[in-house]
Amino acid sequence: MRLQFFAREPTEPATPRRLEKAREQGQVFRSPEVVAVATLLAAYLALVATGAWTWDRLSRFAVRWWGDLSRMELTPGNLPGLAWQVVATALLAAAPVAGLVLAAGLLANYLQVGFLFTLRPLAPDLRRIDPIQGLRRILSRRALAELVKSLAKVAVVGWVAYRTVAGALPKLPLLLGSSPGGVLAETARLVGLLLGRVALTMAVLAFLDYLYQRWEYFQSLRMTREEIKEELRETEGSPEIRQAIRRRQRELARRRMMAEVPKADVVVTNPTHYAVALRYVPGEMEAPVVVAKGRGFVALRIREVAAAADVPVVENPELARGLYFSVEIGDPVPPELYRAVAEVLAFVYRLKGKV
């Protein structure tokens, strides 16, 4: 009973096939915090790089626009044109920041997920409108963890922002006698400092969230032992089928080996337990090659095929065992067996009149 309970518990890491299927269904791990930090940093860097240009452009436009506005009579006919000037100028000024923010968001998503296009998450699913399933999702461990993370993020970021603003408060009375440019410069410095500290804080939180999302993702895909067995049956077939395939492969290999026996120069036997077929072509081979070997029934078949093909069969128990255990099919004879093999081949060649 206890073994059955553990077999149904998802205790095993997800297999590559399980991970691939989850990805095909759009189930990937991604930290929204990483995307948020990337876009925030991009916005900060864009403002630092283009802030002066943007402010100068907006200031010049405001002066010119208000000047034109004071000299013209507002009518229903010219209001759309004036409004479009404001919108176009604002869009052009915001274009560098918006473009960099968009690129940073896309890059952050790509680095986490890679290229993935699937419509599976958009497919109709009745479980999404099931109130019981919805309540379970709301009260799930994942939902609780997301709530705790959100509260912690708000608390940490709020504390950092408070400390930054509180540190700048003593300097604010000094700005009363400053010029508008000085007030603007100090305000820009304070905003930049605030954004930088908030971005750094969120970067640390995003890294921790990324690690958590990765851990939670792999935890959610863990498999039971029964699921792994079922996957093996689906991918490789049942044990009976695999055994049948292996038997078929052994039979085919045996047939190919037997087809080489008639080409052999000699078959060395034990005489009954082992049989090894040797072939040697002077000028083409550096040493004799084992073309077939076997024991028991296979050895008997090798001797029968050799006899039918008029291949000499020589009894040499020690050499037969040495060749069987030390040389694989298709490999040449090792140097330590050269002398013994040469004596056997010389005997065979004398029988055939080749010497």
Give yes or no: residues 215 and 348 share one domain.
Answer: no
Residue 28: count other Cβ atoms within 10 Å of its Cβ: 15
329: in domain? yes
Share of the chain above pLDDT 70, in %: 75
Helices marked H in 72-179 — which ranges?
79-113, 131-138, 141-168
Quote the domain boundaries for residue 92.
28-220
Give yes or no: residues 185 and 266 share one domain.
Answer: no
Give yes or no: residues 58 and 203 share one domain.
Answer: yes
Domain boundary among 192, 220, 248: 220
Tens digit of pLDDT for each residue in 124-165? 555 556 566 556 666 667 777 778 888 888 899 899 888 888
Q: Dmax of the chain from CA atoms? A: 125
Domain boundary among 168, 203, 220: 220
pLDDT at 179 over 70: no
Give yes or no: residues 205 and 60 share one domain.
Answer: yes
How large is the C-alpha radius of gyration of the chain? 41
Report in angstroms the alpha-carbon separations of 323 from 66, 111, 268, 279: 103, 57, 9, 13
Entry pTM? 0.49
CATH classification at residue 343: 3.40.1690.10
Domain boundary among 170, 199, 220: 220
Q: How many domains does the chain have?
A: 2
20: in domain? no
pLDDT at 266 over 90: yes
* Contacts of the segment 22-27: beta carbons below 8 A, 24+ positions apart: 22/221, 23/116, 24/118, 24/120, 25/118, 25/120, 25/121, 26/116, 26/118, 26/120, 26/121, 27/221
pLDDT band at 89 (very low <50, low <70, confident <90, very high): confident
90: in domain? yes
Give yes or no: residues 184 and 44 share one domain.
Answer: yes
Give yes or no: residues 58 and 158 share one domain.
Answer: yes
